Amino acid sequence: MFSEELQAKINGLKSRRVPIKLGQISFDSPLLLAPMSAICNAPFRLLMEELGAGGTVSELISCHGINYRNEKTRQMLTIHPKEKNIGIQLFGEDTQSMARAAEYAREFNPKFIDINMGCPVRKVVSKGGGSALLREPKKLSEFFGEIKKAIDIPLTIKIRTGWDTDSINAQEIVNIADGEGIEFVAIHGRTRTQQYKGTANWELLEEVAKNSPLPIIGNGDLHSAPLTKARMNQTSCQALMLGRGPLRDPFIFLTSYLDDPSQSPFTPKNYLEIIHVYYQLLQDYTDKERSHLIQVRKMVVWFVAGFAGAAEFRGKLFASHDIKTVMELTTEFLLGLEEANQGDKKVNLNQPFMMGGHG
């Protein structure tokens, strides 16, 4: 998939990872890719797994879309043959609809099925899905139990700390999940009403992890390799989930294992190579050129954040309306940085990236 030079760098850092097991589910490391809407399709998940993610989760998929056998939804369920540690995430409010959807999603051979209980978006929440499920914990035992009965693979959940600051109930949800045989719980350290504002409550996440009968995956504000490494060294969580971080540093699952994570060995030429690999994976995934343009262009903009001249380059990309031009401009920009030995990113690693959301 990659050149010998890049693969050697990747393998060197992959060798520092330690495989883990969360309940019955094995992962190649405790750093996992968070599910992100319109991002975590099969091409992106596979790219991240090849770049060191210990496991991945699909973007949230509607149980109703699955049950209606919607063609777009069916493609979202697609798993690349090379994907190894992948879970499919479903969202919905109706117990029987979710159970039927989980049974169908199982046919695509994920390692586990995950229930989205954290999405704060109004169109999801207003119908009773996502974070809205946190508001009625008494209904969750039956909800979990019926879905679990429909599948023969592990069931997991991803939640938030609560609906708002007056209803923090992550520990209660974890205890209910344990009683129904849920395998692990991933927790985003914000409430639903916070959306993606403010900061993740890691003090609460650590407290829940210490008291939990189930493995806990911590999620929120791990948007740089130094922050991720620091959290790995002190957390009680059994694993960490990264969302926005990999969009600025696609090598974060590897660079977090460096002795000095701020000194990445990956150069602009390496970034260009993985962009080409991503584009090829997209072409194998769909023949829709419009999708190629939209997906590659936004990924390039995120990947180059922090490089010298990135703002001007971003303007050129958004003015480009065909994939050929986008790839040509990207090649020119990144090779220019390589030749000028301008491979360092100038970013405030403590400042949140993409405040609009995603992990």
Q: Which residues are part of the catalytic machinery?
A: 119
- Residue in the block written with tokens 């046919």: 107
HEC profile for the chain?
CCCHHHHHHHHHHHCCCCCEEECCEEECCCEEECCCCCCCCHHHHHHHHHCCCCCEECCCEEHHHHHCCCHHHHHHCCCCCCCCCEEEEEECCCHHHHHHHHHHHHHHCCCEEEEEECCCCHHHHCCCCHHHHHHCHHHHHHHHHHHHHCCCCCEEEEEECECCCCCECHHHHHHHHHHCCCCCEEEECCCCCCCCCCCCCHHHHHHHHHHCCCCEEEECCCCCHHHHHHHHCCCCCCEEEECCHHHHCCCHHHHCCCCCCCCCCCCHHHHHHHHHHHHHHHHHHCCCHHHHHHHHHHHHHHHCCCCCCHHHHHHHHHCCCCHHHHHHHHHHHHHHHHHCCCCCCCCCCCCCCCCCCCC
Which CA distances in Å does 160 have to 66, 70, 164, 208, 213? 24, 29, 10, 12, 18
Cβ neighbours of residue 133 closer than 8 Å, sequence gap 6 or more? 93, 115, 117, 140, 143
